[in-house]
Amino acid sequence: MNPNNTSPVEHKMIRETRVAQLAQTGAGTPMGQLLRRFWHPVALSREVATGSAKAVRLLSQDLALYRGESGEPHLVAGRCAHRLTMLHTGWIEGEEIRCMYHGWKFDGSGRCVERPAERHCREANIRIGAYPVHEYCGVIFAYLGEGEAPAFDLPRKAVFETPGMLLFQRKEIWPCNWLQNVENSLDAVHVSFAHQMGKVGAFGEAITTEVPALSYRETEAGICQTAVRGGSQVRVSDWTFPYGNHVNIPGVDPRDPWTEVSHWMVPIDDTRTMRLALFATPSTTPEADSKLVSYYHGCEGYNSADHHDDLFAGKYPTDPLIRLTSAQDYVALIGQGVIADRMNECLGASDVGIAMLRRILTREIDLVAAGAPTKAWRRLDRPSALFTEAGPQVTA
């Protein structure tokens, strides 16, 4: 018997439930409720042209994202209140969206403002869900929680707002749960192995294959991860709650400046993750800038999932950086299964960051379940220096 007086079978069942809860995203789950207290990237700005709409799914909720004729984005429930067809298939009129099935029209606050075939009926107070959005640096963020949205904030905001920075955005959609994507961010050891696969590339060459000594510390924003290789090569990264990771990567060409990247592992639902990244590179010369722009544009359409069979057959992309590192992580994470079976793992001492993450997530969802306040995460006043005397850090 264990201290809680439960039998081994009961104990295993409780543990199974608690482990499963960590990966869940639905509104009715403790983790889904916790995640709804944050802003989430929901799409790239360029995916929604003025006067058009797009179906999106976030935290297991179907939504319609549209841009009104003013250029403002709006986010409403994915299905029409009438007979539930998908709203993004309709028309945009001004700042409103009209359903293609029978013409009901909704404004950006979710209010039904017109029902063409019900003109002679009493006005009904019909609403669908509507959610705050915020567009920033080419990314549209959304808040799906209750009540007023928290102030929009971003780790390392100053970098993205520095004049002279070239900004790039890209995303991939992978058929696996968000939590294994997050755990990968807190696993510096994988860099020495997964990122040496296929063809090493600029990223693999920038690090040694030596296994790092690791330490992790909970901060006001998330977890600070330090990996030391060779006794002096110190690399620090800021992981931010609930799924951000802020790292520095080498340039494609050794003469290019290093690039700062914010990664978000956005839960589409329990079995799909949108990995969205925002890159900031200092502008240098017009020639180098235009080379970089065409490199990033070339990466825009790449989604590792489209190359699944090739990647699992060991055929990696020839690109030395973005596509290659993405493909290497893809093989490792998809290889874990759609939702990693955490009941059958065998964690070691080097998984201390993952263990810390799970303890924090468990603590926070227990607070949600108890109706108690959760930790007030906030942006670090002074983010960890990604560059150390020994050079930039390259955890991905």
Interacting residue ranges for ligand FES, rule: CB under 6 A? 80, 82-83, 85, 99, 101-104
Concatenated DSSP letters of 269-309: ETTEEEEEEEEEEE---HHHHHHHHHHHHHHHT--GGGGHH
Give the three-state DSSP class for 76: strand
With respect to Fe ion, which residue has the nearer C-beta, 33 or 184?
184
Question: Counting contacts by CB under 5 A, is residue 206 touching Fe ion?
Answer: no
State CA 259 to chain mean position distance.
Answer: 19
Q: Report, in Å, the least distance between residue 282 CB and ligand FES.
A: 49
- 288-300 burial, b at 16+ Cβ within 10 Å, e below that, comes to beeebeebbeebe
Residues 276-335 that bind Fe ion (CB under 5 A): 329
Q: Which residues contact 13 (CB under 8 A, 6 or more apart)?
A: none
How far apart, in whole angstroms, are the C-alpha atoms of residue 375 and residue 359?
13
102 binds, options Fe ion, ligand FES, none, Cβ within 5 to 8 A by partner type: ligand FES
Looking at beta carbons only, is 245 or 281 nearer to Fe ion? 245
| Burial class (CB within 10 angstroms; exposed 0-12, middle 13-18, buried 19+) of 102 | middle
Q: Does the footprint of Fe ion cover residue 396 (CB under 5 A)?
A: yes
Q: Output the residue with the shortest Cβ distance to Fe ion.
A: 396
Q: Please identify, using beta-carbon distances, which residue of 126 and 355 lies nearer to ligand FES.
A: 126
Nearer to ligand FES, 77 or 139 (CB): 77
Helix axes 322-334, 286-300, angle to 10 degrees: 30
Taking CB within 5 to 8 Å according to partner kind, which of Fe ion, ligand FES, none is near residue 396? Fe ion
83: its two tokens: 């007979």
- Name which of ligand FES, Fe ion, none residue 316 binds, using a CB cut-off of 5 to 8 Å depending on partner kind: none
- Nearer to ligand FES (CB atom), residue 85 or residue 196: 85
DSSP state string for 182-246? HHHHT-GGGGGTGGGSSS-HHHHHTS-SSPPEEEEEE-SSEEEEEEEETTTEEEEEEEETTTEEE
192 makes contact, choosing from Fe ion, ligand FES, none, with CB < 5 to 8 Å by partner type, with: none
Axis-axis angle for helices 8-23, 352-369 (nearest 10): 90
Question: What's the min distance (Å) between Cβ of 80 and ligand FES?
Answer: 3
Which of 154, 92, 121 is CA-nearest to residue 278? 154
| Count of residues that interact with Fe ion, criterion CB under 5 A | 2
Nearer to ligand FES, 21 or 85 (CB): 85
- Residues 324-353 touching Fe ion, rule: CB under 5 A, are 329
Amino acid at 257: P
Residue 92 touches Fe ion, criterion: CB under 5 A: no
Residue 203 CB, shortest distance to Fe ion, in Å, is 8
What is the nearest approach in angstroms of Fe ion to the Cβ of residue 35?
23
Question: Which residue, 80 or 333, has its beta carbon nearer to ligand FES?
Answer: 80
CB of 200 to Fe ion, least distance (A): 13
- Contacting positions for Fe ion (CB under 5 A): 329, 396
